Amino acid sequence: MKNKSYIVHIAGVIAMIFWGISFVWSTQVYQNLNPTATIFLRLVVATVFLTAILFLFRLNEKVHKKDLKLFAVAAMFEPFLYFIFEGYGLKNSSPIIGSGIIALIPLVTPIAARIFLKERLSVMNVVGLIVSFGGVIVMLVTRNLELATSPKGILFLSGSVLVAVGYSIALIRLTKIYKPLTITWVQNIIGMIYFIPMVLVMEHFEPSNFANIRGYIVPLVCLGVCCSAIAYALWAFCFSKLGASKANVYSNLIPVFTAIFSYFIIHESLTANKIIGIMLVIVGLVLSQQKKRKTTDSTDLTDFQR
């Protein structure tokens, strides 16, 4: 069981690496395409990739009709609403600020998890959450205590946080029924269907967009394969083992990886407060995953044994 828990944590970190760099890849694609078109094409790439993996390696499992409603709700939260809020929020802010606001998810999720899933958090879990959030704040605020982004960007990104919490509740129920790859595959298909009307109504594809496909095809494929397929599958696996509250703590790593990738890829400055913030996020993450040693009561291990 101990070795399996390491695999779970590694899966969570890898998912955060992909989602951390996704803010950079998205910014690159947005130079040619609008968020709606970007998200739709990203889901197409992810669906094709997952379909090939599932049927090539015979990993597909039957999806029961009675569970389609739950899948539809989950897909409405993510990828549909979440990507809309995140996409237009990122278009009106910088990658690091966008990822920093997304890191608020772990602070909101425990409240919802306690209400809907009856999950418990230890004192150390709460301390870790607070320390990690403090690190995010340090990364985002300037010396004048100002947040350098537009109110419109903050509004959209805040919406994505609330939507992500709703998705967490739906996801934890799905992980008790289906495998992570199946969940990711079905929600991407449904999400893609949700986006078709928006793409037809809102998007006007210009020939110049496709003429410059070399400028965004690589980050677009990376978004589809790495972020909408692999990362979501790893995330579903992580949820099934840790529960909503503990798994969502890993979201605090997103601004850490975004800051690093933004510095090396698009040369966004990595200041002293961002470095300090990164260190606090990591410390908080470690603290939040600490468990009390118990010899007689095994009920607290249910998050790892689901």
User: Looking at the domain assignment, is residue 116 inside a domain?
Assistant: yes
User: Looking at the domain assignment, is residue 299 inside a domain?
Assistant: no
What's the domain range around 183?
Answer: 2-290
User: Looking at the domain assignment, is residue 106 inside a domain?
Assistant: yes
What pLDDT score was predicted for residue 53? 94
User: Looking at the domain assignment, is residue 209 inside a domain?
Assistant: yes
User: Looking at the domain assignment, is residue 20 inside a domain?
Assistant: yes
User: Looking at the domain assignment, is residue 297 inside a domain?
Assistant: no
User: Looking at the domain assignment, is residue 300 inside a domain?
Assistant: no
What does the pLDDT look like over 109-124, one tens digit per residue? 776 777 776 777 778 8
Please determine, for residue 181, whether its predicted confidence score (pLDDT) is greater than 90.
yes
Q: What's the predicted TM-score (pTM) here? A: 0.80
Distance CA 230, CA 100 (A): 22
User: Looking at the domain assignment, is residue 50 inside a domain?
Assistant: yes
Q: How confident is the model at residue 210 (pLDDT cuts 50, 70, 90)?
A: low
Give the count of domains, the chain. 1
